Amino acid sequence: MCRSEGLTGKREDTAMKTVCVLGLGYIGLPTSLMFATAGHLVRGVDINPDVISLLGKGSVHFEEPGLGLLLREVLATRTLSLHPAPVTSDVFIICVPTPLGNEKRANLDHVRAASRSIIPFLQPGNLIILESTVPPRTCIDVLKPILEESGLEIGKDLFLAFCPERVIPNKILVEIVENDRICGGFDEKSLEMATGLYRSFVRGEIHGTDCTTAEMVKLMENTFRDVNIALANEFALICEKLKINAWEAIRLANKHPRVSIHAPGPGVGGHCIPVVPWFIVEKDMEGTPLIQRARAINDDMPAHVARVVGNFLDLSMKPVVTVLGVAFKPNTDDASMSPATRLIELLGQSGAVVKAHDPIVKSFHVPLLSIEEALVGSECIVLVTDHDEFKEMDVAAVARAVKKKLVIDTRNALDHERLRASGFVVHVLGVPGKDGMPF
Ligand code: SAJ
């Protein structure tokens, strides 16, 4: 037995387990750290030797508040050990990526490989938990047959559950503890075991259901967000045409007690929201017109922003366009599937010389320049990511650096009055051309 106080502050007697976590990325690493802090013996496994070696030195491979500190703590107390391959354990938790594959279907190669890799280590009584986001029925149709190649039967010798994460980057260590969780069990016993395990650190409620419902719940959550962002984007485009301010209209509509319209923007990025709706669509192409339309609207937003830039500048004349921010969301270093990628590509194809700057992102597929370099000769600044740093920019210095004073703010995040006072023409996504420019 172990007493878990740790980060959860909750004193709960739970049987100490050996927990093997497969995949030490955005979810697997924090999950390992939380189980280790709660007193379990965690074996973190990653197929990438660089990740194992870096983590072993107490450094983390992505930015997340508090993560490095916690890693060093659990390494020092030896409640976390790091391994290149699975180790015999009571529980196996699979946290591997499920990217979008061919024909916009989930690529489950990593899930299959991780499941196969634990077969030699499975013993009667083991619990296997999938955390990766997957299409409905993956536990039943994909995981179960693979795990049963061990000769052990799910529901009799082995127990299986799907327990998706719900955390948001930058607040992972808070949300992983505080948020309610959904836990889908193959049967009652699997559900009971998985729920008991997560209770060792989760302070939110744990809601039990079956595996396939839990898989669908996870997809519904992100699809809800994607469809709502598409609605906000569609409103923004209509408001531009109607010559009204979409942000003001949304603010007022949200005064209704049952309305909560999302924010328009240059498109939707990240590991999940642009990908996950397709995991529902692949199960029923004919039955998902709304989800598919929402995806198309959000995917087209970078093209809309590129068209707006083209309304102000003759791109064939090769003007320098400065893209500020390539992260998919503010104050993070994560540029996965960022709308900046498509925008930069489209502007480049139209002839613009694109210079990109991001104060936080370290690596991106196009070179990231310093703010000074990115502004030299600029004829248009496009704000893509609303990092705090951009909101605090020295407007007078920016005005001195650029060739032409034009800003396109796709997030309605900058101080437009200050920019205009320094002589900038400012266009805001979803707002008619105050400065006299047509759409
Ligand atoms: N965005 C908008 N308008 C909005 C909100 C977001 O354009 O009103 C854009 C953002 O700029 C960003 C993208 O959408 O490019 C996604 O950002 P996000 O912050 O909404 O989502 P993620 O991908 O960081 O995290 C989501 C979360 N899911 C939900 O909010 C339903 C998180 O809780 C999940 O854990 C995560 O997906 C996941 O892993 O599934």
Tell me the per-residue pLDDT of 276-302, one tens digit each, with 9 for 90 and over.
999 999 999 999 999 999 999 999 999
Atom of ligand 1 nearest to the CA of 167: 35
Our answer on whether the CB atom of 265 is closer than 6 Å to any ligand 1 atom is yes
Which residue in 272, 329, 355, 380 is the catalytic one? 272
Task: With a cut of 50, list the residues of the chain below it in pLDDT.
Answer: 1-13, 436, 438-439
Whether 328 lines ligand 1, by a CB cut-off of 6 Å, is yes
239 is catalytic: no
Q: Is 132 in the pocket of ligand 1 (CB under 6 A)?
A: no
Round to whole Å and give the CA distance between 250 and 273.
22
Report which ligand 1 atom has the smallest distance to the Cα of 269: 15
142 Cα–ligand 1 center, Å: 27
This prediction has a pTM of 0.93
Instruction: Confirm or reject: Cβ of 131 under 6 Å from ligand 1.
Output: no
Quick one: which of 397, 131, 86, 138 has its CA closest to 279? Answer: 138
Going from the Cα of 273 to the center of ligand 1, the distance in angstroms, rounded, reads 6
**Count of residues for the chain?**
439
At 434 the pLDDT is: 52
Determine whether the shortest distance from the Cβ of 355 to ligand 1 is under 6 A.
no
Distance CA 383, CA 408 (A): 6
- Cα angle 421-423-428, degrees, rounded to a multiple of 5: 80
Active site residue 272: yes
Residue to mutate (ligand 1; options 98, 181, 222, 228; most atoms within 8 A of CB): 222
Question: Does 171 contact ligand 1 (Cβ within 6 A)?
Answer: no
CA distance 100 to 108: 9
Task: State residue 63's pLDDT score.
Answer: 87
d(CA 277, CA 284) in angstroms, rounded, equals 11
pLDDT per residue as tens digits for the range 143-194: 999 999 999 999 999 999 999 999 998 999 999 999 999 999 999 999 999 9
270 lines ligand 1 (CB under 6 A): yes
Q: Which alpha helices (DSSP H) does 99-162 contain, by range? A: 109-118, 138, 144-147
Q: Give me ligand 1 centre to Cα 339, in Å.
A: 13
pLDDT of residue 15: 85
